Amino acid sequence: MVWQAIARKELRGLLKPRRRRAGLALVALVFVLGGYLLPLNVSSPETADLAPYMTGAVTLVLPLLGLLLGYKTIVSERESGRLLLLLSLPHSRLEAVFGKFLGRGGVLALVVASGIVLASALVAYPFGSLQPGVMAAYVLVTLLYGLAFVSIGMGISTLTSSSQRATAGTFGVFFVFVVLWSELKVPFRIALDYLGLASDGLPNWALFVYGLEPGMCYQRIVQAFFAGSDQGSYLGADAPFYLGEWVALIVLVCWVIVPVTAGYRRFEVTDL
């Protein structure tokens, strides 16, 4: 397999333009800022406190970064003809998609890891404490969340041959998942109520469907694993297991795998 060559080339190309590096540094800086502010509000903070404290910012910034990294990957290469150059070399289309996904995921990992490590250092010094295991877990979970959006972006990118449509689709996903989703709960309940499927509050299956969105999964994971919460309709003691944090983790992993795979399968059978 030579997908490493593609991933390496992606990394090189992605990190070259100065403006892009500045943008990526800015995202890492969001974490650092959180790490700076947290000790001002909490005395003797721990690494685990960082995760719930950052959730609001993370669920806004990472989808944006992930989608931006993903949505042009294939479609712009296809439109410009860079894809022809890539596939003139002995690469399969699978290697091309996989290699690019890894390259872009690598950039995301770099940003998330450096941001969280620096933030954790700020939390730990001088009055807090550092738990390396917790920090690693937080990096991993946050990375999964970001990768889900790289995957969604690349899925869109492989599905269409027009940059404009990819841009529109990406904007739609961001709007629905990040801006609109939290507002959807009420209309969702009213609609089910109208259909006679819900009385007061959402039934468990509807909570499950509503909770499939990557941000919802991420919040549950952070609440359960880092904030130690066992309250609420998802994590409460009488909630069924499929609303819990472990299922949320599995759903998040699916968000990383499924969109880009679905896009690839379509891409594999089309003429360039």
> What are the residues binding another protein (CB under 8 A)?
2, 4-6, 8-9, 12-13, 16-17, 80-82, 84-85, 87-92, 269, 271-272
CA 172, chain centre distance (Å): 16
Least Å from the CB of residue 16 to another protein: 4
- Which structure tokens are listed for 270? 């089309």
Q: Of 5 and 25, which CB lies nearer to another protein in the complex structure?
A: 5
Least Å from the CB of residue 177 to another protein: 30
Q: Of 19 and 194, which CB lies nearer to another protein in the complex structure?
A: 19
- Which structure tokens are listed for 159? 């599905």
* Dist. CA 92–CA 267, nearest whole Å: 12
* Dist. CA 154–CA 265, nearest whole Å: 12
Q: Of 11 and 198, which CB lies nearer to another protein in the complex structure?
A: 11
Least Å from the CB of residue 84 to another protein: 5
CB 211 within 8 A of CB 220: yes
Least Å from the CB of residue 158 to another protein: 15
Q: Of 90 and 133, which CB lies nearer to another protein in the complex structure?
A: 90
CB 98 within 8 A of CB 182: no
* Dist. CA 39–CA 43, nearest whole Å: 6
CB 256 within 8 A of CB 151: yes
Least Å from the CB of residue 79 to another protein: 9
CB 77 within 8 A of CB 127: no
> What is the distance between the terminal CA atoms of the chain, rounded to a whole angstrom?
22
Q: Of 230 and 268, which CB lies nearer to another protein in the complex structure?
A: 268
* Dist. CA 128–CA 87, nearest whole Å: 52
Least Å from the CB of residue 64 to another protein: 22
User: 152 vs 26, 127, 144, CA distance in Å?
Assistant: 22, 40, 12
Q: Of 12 and 165, which CB lies nearer to another protein in the complex structure?
A: 12
Least Å from the CB of residue 73 to another protein: 13
Q: Which residues contact 159 (CB under 8 A, 6 or more apart)?
A: 169, 262, 263, 266, 267
Cα-only R_g, the chain = 20
Q: Of 13 and 201, which CB lies nearer to another protein in the complex structure?
A: 13
